[in-house]
Amino acid sequence: MRALIAIAILHATLIDGHGGAPVKDATVVVRDGKIECAGVECSVPKGIKVFDARGMWITPGLVDAHVHFSQSGWADGRPDALDVRAQYPYEQTIGELKAHPERFARSYLCSGVTSVFDVGGYPWTLQLHERADTSWPHVSAAGPLLSTLDHWLNLPAERQFVFLKDEASGREGVKYLAAQGARAVKVWYIEENEAALMAAGDEAAKAKLPLIVHATELARAKAALRAGAKLLVHSVWDADIDDELIALMKKNGAILTPTLTVAGGYARMYESVVSKKAPEIDDPNHCVDAATIAKVNATPSMSDPDLNAAAVVRISKRTSDRVLLSAANLMKLVEAGIPIATGTDAGNPLTLHGPSIHAEMLAMQTAGMTPMQVIVASTATAARAARLDDITGTIEKGKDADLLILSADPLQSLDNFRRLKYVMRGGVLRGVAELRGR
């Protein structure tokens, strides 16, 4: 780590996050952790340290607008999906996640992610931002979720799911979140209960907190938007979206996070349990810590009485159908001009904190977005979704100096984000090798 007071990065091609044409031979001047000047008109102050980035590209640091620090990236954080509690007791897993979130912080920076939005978890996630110095990404957090399903996955003295059973519980839940410093009100709209949802939305508006909703069915997504949702944290995957949904999103100025890859992680986990072959790990820069990798590699030794080859085929088919529909719906929204924010749902099984951003960005491109559209979704718009856009998400004067230096053109291939060389967070420049997790 090098704590720099001032540095000028010279001669790189600048992609600033706003979506305009890249600027060749640009200069970025950084002072006291902030961007002082970016573009071709910047003068380089005398005596300042310079970094010659000729032949390289500068982009804003990536923003993952859908993560969960209360989940590990494996089954032990989601025993409702694959019950491994005999070997990995749930309270132990959550205890470790709470004690050592810094392993994920490092993995994010190592993967080029300089900001994250934790959209649901235990109350301690609301304090993570206090730890967010330049060795951490910025963290914005929603805290415990209001869930219309009375989910059992809690701890004896801590809840990540607050039961949204009626209007009164919706209002009480929002008041609790506002008092705890939540940056948004997340509703897990799993069981239909429109009255409770509307009450939560009304109370969130009073508290000046954005309502953000998990609603993967078209009818529920519309209900969420009628309740005032500003962010849908997943795609709709049960039906083709229609003009009514688009009109509701426009009315609210709502953003959508497609999360195209998370369901595939579950499918690959089940496949590994049945085939007894370890899942592939897509972590090109070795950002993920050894303990997490060891858990992933233990997948084939797990078992589930309900899992067999036929079940895996069924799950994989359902997953690929949903992804195809999600991708088609994503493109309808893009064409309608709805803002899209990249988010991985990291922490879910095999969606690993940090490097999962690369597969997600590629999936968005495969769906039909241009590389530049994906870059804007992964920087400026994701920062807006996370309520961090006043301090980060684009490279412009006054914002935090959160940027990446790449050795190849990301507009040629988004895979070039996997080959990033340097990550700057809050003005501190680090080589990717310094940030490795193992």
299, two tokens = 């997948």
Closest separation in Å from C-beta 265 to Zn ion:
12
Of the candidates 402, 410, 342, the one whose C-alpha atom is nearest the C-alpha of residue 378 is 342
In the list 16, 271, 345, 360, the residue contacting Zn ion (rule: CB under 5 A) is: 345
373, two tokens = 């559209």
Determine, following the binding rule CB under 5 A, whether residue 389 of this chain makes contact with Zn ion. Answer: no
The stretch among 16-24, 155-163, 340-348, 410-418 that binds Zn ion (CB under 5 A) is 340-348
- For the chain, report the end-to-end CA distance as a whole number of angstroms: 17
Closer CB to Zn ion, 22 or 347, in the complex: 347
Element (H, E) at 421: strand 420-425
Residue nearest to Zn ion (CB): 345
Dump strand ranges (E) for 108-241.
113-118, 138-141, 145-147, 161-163, 185-188, 211-214, 231-232
Determine, following the binding rule CB under 5 A, whether residue 271 of this chain makes contact with Zn ion. Answer: no
The stretch among 290-298, 344-352, 406-414, 419-427 that binds Zn ion (CB under 5 A) is 344-352
DSSP 61: P
Closer CB to Zn ion, 345 or 402, in the complex: 345
Determine, following the binding rule CB under 5 A, whether residue 203 of this chain makes contact with Zn ion. Answer: no
d(CA 349, CA 71): 8
DSSP string, 202-253: HHHHHTT--EEEE--SHHHHHHHHHTT-SEESS---SS---HHHHHHHHHHT
The stretch among 52-60, 155-163, 250-258, 345-353 that binds Zn ion (CB under 5 A) is 345-353
Closer CB to Zn ion, 279 or 347, in the complex: 347
Closest separation in Å from C-beta 177 to Zn ion:
16
Closer CB to Zn ion, 68 or 358, in the complex: 68
Closer CB to Zn ion, 60 or 77, in the complex: 77
Closest separation in Å from C-beta 345 to Zn ion:
4
Please count the residues of the chain. 438
Residues in binding contact with Zn ion, number by CB under 5 A? 1
Determine, following the binding rule CB under 5 A, whether residue 64 of this chain makes contact with Zn ion. Answer: no
Residue ranges that bind Zn ion, judged by CB under 5 A: 345
